[in-house]
Structure 1
Amino acid sequence: MTLWLTRIVPSPNSREARRDLGGSDQGIRLHQRMLQMFPDGVEGPARAAFGVLFRAEESPRGPQILLQSHIEPDSSRLPDAYGNVEKRSLDSLLSNLRKGMVVNYRCVASPVRKPGATSREAYNLPPVMTLSGNSAVEWWERQSNASGLEPLHITAHPLATVRGLQGSKGPVAKQRVQHSRTQFDGTARILDAELLREKLATGIGRGKAYGCGLLSIAPAR
């Protein structure tokens, strides 16, 4: 399994970059922008075909976009002067993962609960319930365990909800996107290295097309 990590530091002088990073529909705009760097004409959803996961975040250098994919993206397909782009393979990191290793992690995810039909009817609950606070932390603990990790420390920071129209033309112009987001940071011990490699490649939770689900790790010092 090969994974590529691309770091994009958008230029403050780029109108396209400022538009992509602004507003509550940031995740929708970035979804469209990230897919521009991959070949056209694939069967099925392009995001899944190329294993595209991304996250916009603040760094000491300012805003940055982290993009993970199964193939190397073509950054020449970005608008001119969009920003600085750095790419590297994650193969060495993945091959060195071992049970018992302690890692630092970050993941922006959309923690939710789906009540059963009986509970929904009894308590008039929606099909999908957003989780926050301790409920979100408990959700992350379950997701971590299912990803081959034992959380040792968890910090949960709520982020703005991604919302907007899925597209501007055709049927998708009427479909609304809404994903609550929480940023999880901390340290964890690897319980199952192979399972962790799988989850690193496929992402965690809902909203993967819109900036959620990318799990980043690095060996703890």
Structure 2
Amino acid sequence: MTHYLTRIHLNPARPHLTASPQRLHAAVAAAFPPSPQDSQDGRTLWRLDETRHPYRQQTLLVVSPAVPDLTHVVEQAGWPRTATPGNPGWDTRPYTPLLDKLRPGVRLRFRLTANPTKAIRRPGRPDRRGVRTALTTPADQLQWLTDRSPTLGFTLPTTGGHPQTAVTASDALDFHRTGNHSRGDRVRIRAVTFDGHLRVTDPDALRRTLTHGIGHGRAYGCGLLTLAPPS
């Protein structure tokens, strides 16, 4: 199955989509024909990266099993007047060649925005599933990723017993899925960004991680792991 990696630079002066995880989720979903959210072929994952030096820049990354059409995103949050048939305002490339190159022992840089949580059981109700609660300290967030990494197809190299990985951002997202603002419609996510190095241990498991995502909140910009050559 072929997968694709798409990058689109957004205009920070046009924040209508980026100000709301729900609106950005809907915009990404609208880039594809209706299809199941998850399958053996993978699901659509996205992440919004932001840098402020030397100037502010926002980049929307999308990994998907189909080629997206982001015309509406360019029109609402990009630079539509500069778009041309040869440069529509975004760049989509096959992701499968990178997936096929993964080998055990290879060391790579990575970035991940995820929603680290733990299940807390309520006193007196051992028969019920625990309440999913966000982890709020960098130490707990790093431990969450370290504990899960072997099943995800990689390990986190350490120096002096500490992972060569850091929490570089942590944002509390609180929004409603729709406009009715009912109590059950509210979404709370702790979006935590990790930057660091990993070592591939199981290429097949890592391929699944890269195309299916990690943890909860994947519809709202969490779960996308991206790789780069070691610096």
Shorter-chain TM-score: which interval?
A: 0.7 to 0.9
The superposition leaves residues 116-149 of structure 1 with CA deviations (integer Å, 9 ceiling, x where unpaired) of x4xx3169xx712221221111001022222111
Match of residue 141 from structure 2 = 136
| CA spacing shift, 1:173–1:143, aligned 2, 3 Å | same
Supply the distance in 1 between the matched residues of 2:25 and 2:7 (Cα, whole angstroms).
15
Query: Given the two structures, how large is their TM-score scaled by the length of structure 1?
Result: 0.84
Partner of residue 52 from structure 1, selected from 28, 44, 64: 44
Match of residue 131 from structure 2 = 127
Ranges in structure 2 where 5+ consecutive residues have no aligned partner = 79-88, 158-163
Supply the distance in 2 between the matched residues of 1:21 and 1:34 (Cα, whole angstroms).
11
Supply the distance in 1 between the matched residues of 2:76 and 2:114 (Cα, whole angstroms).
30
Match of residue 186 from structure 1 = 196
Q: Is the 8 A contact 2:17 2:77 kept in 1?
A: no
Deviation at 1:217, TM superposition (A): 0.9
> Secondary structure, in 3 states, of the residue corresponding to 2:60?
strand
Q: Is the 8 A contact 1:58 1:64 kept in 2?
A: yes
For these two proteins, the number of residue pairs brought into alignment is 207
Q: Is the 8 A contact 1:165 1:176 kept in 2?
A: yes
Partner of residue 164 from structure 1, selected from 171, 175, 182: 175
Percent identity of paired positions between Structure 1 and Structure 2? 28
Kindly report the root-mean-square deviation, in angstroms, between the aligned alpha carbons of the 2 structures. 2.6
Supply the distance in 2 between the matched residues of 1:142 and 1:32 (Cα, whole angstroms).
32
Greater share of helix residues, 1 or 2?
A: 1
Q: Is the 8 A contact 1:164 1:177 kept in 2?
A: yes
Supply the distance in 1 between the matched residues of 2:76 and 2:176 (Cα, whole angstroms).
27
Match of residue 112 from structure 2 = 107
| CA spacing shift, 1:209–1:172, aligned 2, 3 Å | farther
Ranges in structure 1 where 5+ consecutive residues have no aligned partner = none
Q: Is the 8 A contact 1:167 1:173 kept in 2?
A: no
Supply the distance in 1 between the matched residues of 2:61 and 2:43 (Cα, whole angstroms).
13
> Secondary structure, in 3 states, of the residue corresponding to 1:20?
coil
Deviation at 1:173, TM superposition (A): 8.7
Deviation at 1:90, TM superposition (A): 1.0
Query: Given the two structures, how large is their TM-score scaled by the length of structure 2?
Result: 0.80
Supply the distance in 1 between the matched residues of 2:210 and 2:201 (Cα, whole angstroms).
14
Match of residue 146 from structure 1 = 151
Write out aligned runs for 1:21-40 (5 A): 21-22=18-19, 26-40=20-34
Partner of residue 196 from structure 1, selected from 200, 206, 214: 206
> Secondary structure, in 3 states, of the residue corresponding to 2:75?
coil
Write out aligned runs for 1:28-107 (5 A): 28-40=22-34, 42=35, 44=36, 47-48=37-38, 51-59=43-51, 62-78=57-73, 80=75, 82-83=77-78, 84-107=89-112
Supply the distance in 1 between the matched residues of 2:71 and 2:17 (Cα, whole angstroms).
17
Supply the distance in 2 between the matched residues of 1:75 and 1:172 (Cα, whole angstroms).
31
| CA spacing shift, 1:165–1:95, aligned 2, 3 Å | same
Supply the distance in 1 between the matched residues of 2:6 and 2:179 (Cα, whole angstroms).
27
